[in-house]
Chain A
Amino acid sequence: MLKLPIYLDNNATTPMDPRVLEAMTPYFLEHFGNAASRNHPFGWEAEEAVDYAREQVAKLIGADPKEIIFTSGATEGDNLAIKGIFEMYASKGNHIITATTEHKAVLDTCKHIEKAGGEVTYLKVKPDGLIDLNELEAAIRPTTILIAIMYANNEIGTVQPISAISAIAKKHGVLLFTDAVQAVGKIPVDVNKDGIDLMAFTAHKMYGPKGVGALYVRRKNPRVKVTAQMDGGGHERGMRSGTLNVPGIVGFGKACEICMQDMEADTKRISKLRDKLETELMKLEEAYINGSTEHRLPHVTNISFKHVEGEGLLMGFNKNIALSSGSACTSASLEPSYVLKALGLGDDLAHSSLRFGLGRFTNEEQIDYTIKAISETVLKLRDMSPLWEMYKEGIDLSKIEWAAH
């Protein structure tokens, strides 16, 4: 039996895997100790659990457990990495390179760096969402200390060529930080093979709990250090003070272990569903896939349905299907997605987009329902759209002088 509503917004957050909850429960109840309490069994149990989770997390990304700094999530990881490097390496330089399609947690942190006297280069992306490696290399200056490029984009799923980026970074002695929130647990990520120096990721995008994440900080070749952004008890090797969220960390560890074990099978199944969804929806006229289809996460697709407004489209089925749109009709600015605009999409197509994020618990029945519901709504709204009527009459919409609103 099909159960509604259907959840297809797994890029926003994922449901928790019941196996993760099961692993966490004892750490709320009988094993509630503070991992920093060194003098009694409650503390020992908590510390042991954190150590084990640290190994599970490290293993998934090919790191040493000592290189894992637990955080409250990826926003904190992004802040700690960028601000921490900017402060720690101030004597070496003050220039950071990032891209226009980064998450706000990176972009706004970079804005903060600029206010603090740093310099930031925002690389444009190509129409497929990938950065241009030549432009990256050309942007490097003697004062460049950090390249911050995300592993995979949250709106379009585009996967950046991280190994090629790290090769350029190494050649010029610059550190590489990547926000890998959408990639870790979904595709193979290996900090050594990929040449990553710092990496932020979070549990709640990989079937773990909210409120816990990690920053990977390389310890060898080179040894990387970040200046702590929170003062206190000197937890996490002095890089992140604050009592450890033991149940969250235990859940994060379990989530990593499950991802590692199930990744191949999950990817195979989910990408097949994604491809079916995409193929069927692309049968509609004037539908466009946003971003690279070649270098892309297996569970994501982002499609624009021309001449239909995204929020209006969502309203046709959002009681039954949870999705998000690049249309920002709800925001006071009326600005559509900056990521889609960075690809060179016109505002009209950016307003007309839907983002699909499939996940471990998505099944074929849900996809079939979604294909039908969206196709019907697109057709219904096009019947109601003056732009569609004009398009069908052969009127060039770009030549119309729209009343400026």
Chain B
Amino acid sequence: MAYSEKVIDHYQNPKNVGTLDKSSKNVGTGLVGAPECGDVMRLQIEVDDATGMITDAKFKTFGCGSAIASSSLATEWLKGKSIDEALTVDNMDFVEELNLPPVKIHCSVLAEDAIKAAINDYRVKNGMDSIKFEESVVH
């Protein structure tokens, strides 16, 4: 199966690989997927308390090229967005941007879930309720 050029580019030059201090109050961490399924994504966001803006985002991903590309792209999209804007990112946005084939849709779902999980982690840490999301339907 041939990968799209954008997937290859993210795979070869991933953006924002790394780790933020997960104990920091300003950092939200989302860890989604499972080793058994062949992909695990960890997405972290750093949020400015005063403005509610995402000032930094990092990822580490165990998975195929599409999973790596989706998480790399997620960090790029998140930086500079407000939490509310970040919540509007949809898995189909990844599918379109990266030209993911149907068999790789789960990678995009995982990326969306990782964003939501990171936001919820940040909210809970800062005394807010976690948002209940509808279950992913793809898996």
Q: Which residues of A contact B (CB under 8 A)?
A: 307-312, 315-316, 327-332, 334, 336, 346-348, 351, 383-389, 397, 402-405
Also in contact, A389 and B19, with CB within 8 A (given A309-B64, A329-B64, A405-B33): yes
Of A311, A347, A386, A388, the residue contacting B36 (CB under 8 A) is: A347
Check B32 against A405 for contact (C-beta < 8 Å): yes
Also in contact, A330 and B103, with CB within 8 A (given A315-B3, A384-B14, A403-B32): yes
Residues of B within 8 A of A331 (CB): 103
Q: Which residue of B lies closest to A308 (CB)?
A: B62
Looking at the assembled complex, report how far the CB atom of B139 sits from the nearest CB atom of chain A, in whole angstroms. 5
Q: Which residue of B lies closest to A398 (CB)?
A: B35
In the complex, what distance in Å separates the CA atom of A15 from the CA atom of B61?
Answer: 36
Check A348 against B11 for contact (C-beta < 8 Å): no
Check A309 against B34 for contact (C-beta < 8 Å): no
In the complex, what distance in Å separates the CA atom of A361 from the CA atom of B139?
Answer: 43
Does B1 sit at the interface, judged by CB under 8 A? yes
The 7 closest A-B pairs by CB, nearest first: A402-B34, A348-B35, A347-B36, A386-B42, A311-B64, A386-B60, A315-B65
Also in contact, A403 and B31, with CB within 8 A (given A309-B38, A334-B106, A386-B40): yes
Does B57 sit at the interface, judged by CB under 8 A? no
Does B41 sit at the interface, judged by CB under 8 A? yes
Check A312 against B33 for contact (C-beta < 8 Å): no
Check B33 against A309 for contact (C-beta < 8 Å): no
Q: Offer 29 A-B interface pairs, CB within 8 angstroms, sorted by A.
A: A309-B38, A309-B63, A309-B64, A311-B64, A312-B63, A312-B65, A316-B11, A328-B38, A330-B1, A330-B103, A346-B35, A347-B35, A347-B38, A348-B35, A351-B35, A384-B60, A385-B40, A385-B61, A386-B40, A386-B42, A402-B33, A402-B34, A402-B36, A402-B40, A403-B31, A403-B113, A403-B117, A405-B37, A405-B106
Residues of A within 8 A of B65 (CB): 311-312, 315
In the complex, what distance in Å separates the CA atom of A255 from the CA atom of B20?
Answer: 59
**Most chain A CB neighbours (cut-off 10 Å) among B17, B32, B64, B136:** B64
Q: Which residue of A lies closest to B1 (CB)?
A: A330
Check A384 against B61 for contact (C-beta < 8 Å): yes
Q: Which residue of B lies closest to A385 (CB)?
A: B62
Looking at the assembled complex, report how far the CB atom of A378 sits from the nearest CB atom of chain B, in whole angstroms. 12
In the complex, what distance in Å separates the CA atom of A155 from the CA atom of B45?
Answer: 41
Looking at the assembled complex, report how far the CB atom of A102 sits from the nearest CB atom of chain B, in whole angstroms. 24
Of A312, A316, A402, the residue contacting B35 (CB under 8 A) is: A402
Looking at the assembled complex, report how far the CB atom of A129 sits from the nearest CB atom of chain B, in whole angstroms. 21
Residues of B within 8 A of A402 (CB): 33-36, 40
Does B68 sit at the interface, judged by CB under 8 A? yes
Taking CB atoms and an 8 Å cut-off, the chain B residues in 1-33 that contact chain A are: 1, 3, 8, 11, 14, 17, 19, 31-33
Residues of A within 8 A of B110 (CB): 405
Which secondary structure dominates chain B's binding surface?
Answer: mixed
Check B41 against A312 for contact (C-beta < 8 Å): no
Looking at the assembled complex, report how far the CB atom of B130 sits from the nearest CB atom of chain A, in whole angstroms. 14
Looking at the assembled complex, report how far the CB atom of A399 sits from the nearest CB atom of chain B, in whole angstroms. 12
In the complex, what distance in Å separates the CA atom of A384 from the CA atom of B38?
Answer: 15
Check B17 against A383 for contact (C-beta < 8 Å): yes
In the complex, what distance in Å separates the CA atom of A362 from the CA atom of B41?
Answer: 37
Looking at the assembled complex, report how far the CB atom of B56 sits from the nearest CB atom of chain A, in whole angstroms. 17
Check A312 against B68 for contact (C-beta < 8 Å): yes
Also in contact, A386 and B41, with CB within 8 A (given A315-B64, A315-B65): yes
Taking CB atoms and an 8 Å cut-off, the chain B residues in 88-127 that contact chain A are: 103, 106, 110, 113, 117
Does B53 sit at the interface, judged by CB under 8 A? no
Check A312 against B60 for contact (C-beta < 8 Å): no
In the complex, what distance in Å separates the CA atom of A74 from the CA atom of B99?
Answer: 38
Q: Which residue of A lies closest to B67 (CB)?
A: A312
Also in contact, A307 and B32, with CB within 8 A (given A315-B3, A331-B103): no
Residues of B within 8 A of A405 (CB): 32-34, 37, 39, 106, 110, 136, 139
Q: Which residue of B lies closest to A389 (CB)?
A: B60
Also in contact, A348 and B36, with CB within 8 A (given A330-B1, A405-B110): yes
In the complex, what distance in Å separates the CA atom of A389 from the CA atom of B1?
Answer: 29
Of B31, B34, B41, B67, the residue contacting A404 (CB under 8 A) is: B34
**Most chain B CB neighbours (cut-off 10 Å) among A309, A316, A404:** A309
Residues of A within 8 A of B139 (CB): 405
Check B40 against A312 for contact (C-beta < 8 Å): no
In the complex, what distance in Å separates the CA atom of A284 from the CA atom of B117?
Answer: 33
Also in contact, A387 and B34, with CB within 8 A (given A307-B62, A329-B64, A405-B106): no
**Most chain B CB neighbours (cut-off 10 Å) among A316, A328, A334, A336:** A334
Check A403 against B33 for contact (C-beta < 8 Å): yes
Looking at the assembled complex, report how far the CB atom of A348 sits from the nearest CB atom of chain B, in whole angstroms. 4
Check B1 against A334 for contact (C-beta < 8 Å): no
In the complex, what distance in Å separates the CA atom of A307 from the CA atom of B117?
Answer: 22
